[in-house]
Each structure stands twice: as C-alpha cells, then as structure tokens.
Amino acid sequence: MLRRLLPILLVFFLVACGAPRGAADPLWTARQHIEASRCEGVNRYAEAVAELEAALSADPDLVEGYYWLFVARRALGDEAAADQARAALEEAVAAGRGGPAGRYWLLRLYQELGDTEAVSRTLSVMESVAQATPSDAEARYWLGRADYEVGQRDRAVQALQRTLELRSDHALAHFWLGQIYAEQGRLEEARRELDAALPRLSEKAAAYHNRGVVLYQLGDLEGATADLEAAIKEDPDDPRSHYQLGAVYLARAIPANPFALPDRALLEKAQAEFDRALQLCPGMPEALIGMGNLHLLQGDAQKALEVLKPVLERHPDSAQAWYAAAQAHAALGNTAEACRALDQFLSLSPPADWAEQAQKAKAQLGCP
C-alpha cells in the first residue's frame, strides 16, 4: 500500500509568483517576512512593517506595498494603522497611480476585509477598463489575476490567453496560466506554460517549484528533483520547496520490487528536507505527514503515530494524515483504530481512486 500512498503524500503545493525582485528589494523581503509568519510560532510582521514603510517612504507609488502593509498591520492587531494603509491604497488607485495593478491589490484588500460588494465593484471597473483598452496587455493580465482570486478560473484563463496574444513574452501570464492548468489537472499544458515562463522570469523560485510539482504528477521524478533543487537554490528559506523535495526523495526511495528495501540514501535525503522545512516552519503539517510516512517506510509505525498525532489534533481535516495514521495503526495491529482512521479519511471526500483504495483496505482489515 505504501507505493499507492505517495501521490496523496505529495500535497499539491503550488506557490504564487510575485513581482520581479531587485537587489535588496524591501517589498520582496516584506513578503517573505509575512509568508514566514503564517507558520506556527513565527511572527515577523513587525519586520515586514519596517521594510514596507521604508519602501513606501522612498516610493509612494509602490501600490502593492500598501496592500502588504495592511495585511501586516492587521496581523499585529493594529486596526487603525491597517485602516490608514487601506485609505492610502484607495487614494492611490483613485488618483490613477498603479494602473490595473493598483485595482488588483485593492480587490485583494477588500477580500481580506470580506467586503464582497467592494470586491464586485472593483472587478467590474477592471472589466470595463480591459474592454475599453482591448490592446492593453497589462489590463488583461491583471483582470486575469483578479478573476483567479474570485474563483473564476475559466475567465482567468481567457484573460491570460488574451494577454499572451497581445504580448507573447509576458512571463507572468505564462506563469499564472501554468498555475491554473496545474490546479485543473491539465499537466502537459501546465508544463508548457511554465517552460515558457522560466527563461523570462527574474524571480524563478515559484516557477521551478510549481514545475517540479507538475513533473512529479507526470511521473518524472528526476525532473521534479532537479526543479525543486533549483527552487531551493533560488530561495533557500522556503519551507514548501524543502517539504516538496523531501516528498519526491521519499517517492524515489520506494523500490519497484515490493520485496526490496527502500533506498536508504534517498530516505536520509528526504528526512533532511523534512527537518529543514520544520526548522523554517515549525509544526508544518505537510512536513510532519511526510516525516510520518518516512517512519512507516522505515518500519517504525509507533514513531509515525507520534509524529502524526499533533497534525490530527490541529488539522483534523487532513485526509493525508488520516490515511497515514490508518496505515500505522494497521501495521501495529490496532485494527479498530485503523478502521476509525479510514472512516475519518473517507468522511473528507477524497478523490475517487483514493476512496476506492480505502474501501479495499477496510475490507482487508475486516472493518464494519
């Protein structure tokens, strides 16, 4: 069953691509601080605020900065300062600064506030501008990004494709098309778009990461390894790429022959990547699940359960964790617990093939 486990172990962890990064770019640094602060026990929002205030002092037209300042101030509980950042962004957009990008970041801000009416109003303005300027590639691109944010994937694809008709070398349009195609399971199309994006991007980590995930899904484990290693070289402190690379090493460690032993060297590489992910992002559930499956491969089901326990407590909606826990309980002879874990897994509506596999496991265990 372990070989069947790996497609669900490798969480489809696509990451977003930001604006191009320059040397010592405070906006990029601030985004990194905010992303890191989403991890358990990490709070670098104050550092993000300092970077953003410096960046906006130097360039008040850096409209994206107001959005991230709003996010950081709000996370720190300073609603008054967050409201000032919101007002500054609204003022900038009203004055025409930032163009379609400014409206996009304003839409994102309204989403954070849960103001659906303002989101709809801003999206309507972006649509009107794109229709009024049919040859403006940037207007189409940012409309595509906005459609993606509000869950209109088909419309986003159309806007991004139109962007590329107008400007075939638009790197970020290729990237985001690849992102959407990957989410839709259109893997060959996703790889094609990411192939087109990578040579043109100055910030390549996200594109390498996402192409690595796509290549894994396509069965190219060597290619996935190379891309994820490249993503880490570009951004050594991204726990998601370390986790993803560990998951690929784990997949490669499993022998095709069910009677052969896993590749010990690859297991050690997987553990090193999971360890690094957890150093950067303590409590990261995906990395803990990966570590649990590594212990299962090594034959230590009890250790696997110890690692999985905090994930199940804090993230009871994690199908991957329940599946791994079921395997660990089954290996220890805890049939009732294994059956209960499989029932929890099935209650989360997993993909049809995984539901079928879980039902077969229940039958083998004699579950009620």
Clarify whether residues 289 and 312 are in a common domain: no
* CATH number for 252: 1.25.40
Q: Are residues 281 and 309 in the same domain?
A: no
- What does DSSP assign to residue 199? G
Percent of the chain with pLDDT over 70: 93
Establish if 310 belongs to a structural domain. Answer: yes
Residue 364 sits in the same domain as residue 312: yes
Which residue, of 274, 298, 322, is where some domain finishes?
A: 298
Sorting pLDDT into bands at 50, 70 and 90, what band is 256?
confident
For residue 255, what pLDDT is reported? 86
Total domain count for the chain?
2
Give the single-character DSSP code of 252.
H
pLDDT (average), residues 270-289: 96
The pLDDT of residue 260 is 86
We report the CATH number of the domain holding residue 339 as: 1.25.40.10
Residue 270 lies in a domain: yes
Confidence of residue 7 (pLDDT cuts 50, 70, 90): very low
Residue 47 domain-assigned? no
Of 25 and 156, the one with more pLDDT:
156
Examine the domain organization and report whether 245 and 286 are in the same domain: yes
318 neighbors 286 (Cβ within 8 angstroms): no
Residue 84 phi/psi, 5-degree rounding, is -65, -40
Q: How far is CA 357 from CA 48, 94, 296, 351, in A?
A: 45, 55, 18, 10
Average of pLDDT values for 328-356?
A: 94
Same domain? For 312 and 361 the reply is: yes
Identify whether 255 is part of a domain. Answer: yes
Res 332: pLDDT = 96
Residue 20 pLDDT greater than 70, yes or no: no
Chosen domain end from 281, 298, 315: 298
Give the pLDDT of residue 126: 98
Question: Does some domain include residue 252?
Answer: yes
When mean pLDDT is compared across 147-151, 256-260, 277-281, the lowest value belongs to 256-260
| pLDDT attached to residue 81 | 98
Which structural domain, as residue segments, surrounds residue 274? Answer: 237-298
Average pLDDT over residues 352-368: 92
Q: Are residues 294 and 309 in the same domain?
A: no
Global pTM reads 0.92
Q: How far apart are CA 11 and CA 342, in angstroms?
A: 19
Residue 271 shares a structural domain with residue 327: no
37 lies in a domain?
Answer: no
Q: How confident is the model at residue 46 (pLDDT cuts 50, 70, 90)?
A: very high
Can you say how many angstroms the Cα of residue 62 is from the centroid of all Cα atoms in its chain?
A: 25
The pLDDT value given to residue 10: 46
Please identify, among 298, 323, 340, the residue that sits at the C-terminal boundary of a domain: 298
Residue 13 has pLDDT above 60, yes or no: no
At 3 the pLDDT is 41
Residue 275 inside a domain? The answer is yes
Query: What does R_g of the chain's alpha carbons equal in angstroms?
Result: 22
pLDDT in tens, 74-123: 999 999 999 999 999 999 999 999 999 999 999 999 999 999 999 999 99
Other C-beta atoms closer than 10 Å to the C-beta of 112 total 14
- The residue-averaged pLDDT of 2-15 equals 47
Residues 334 and 349 in one domain: yes
User: How confident is the prediction for the chain on average, in pLDDT?
Assistant: 92
Residues 282 and 313 in one domain: no
pLDDT at 351 over 90: no
Residue 276 covered by a domain: yes
Based on the fold, state whether residues 368 and 309 are members of the same structural domain.
yes
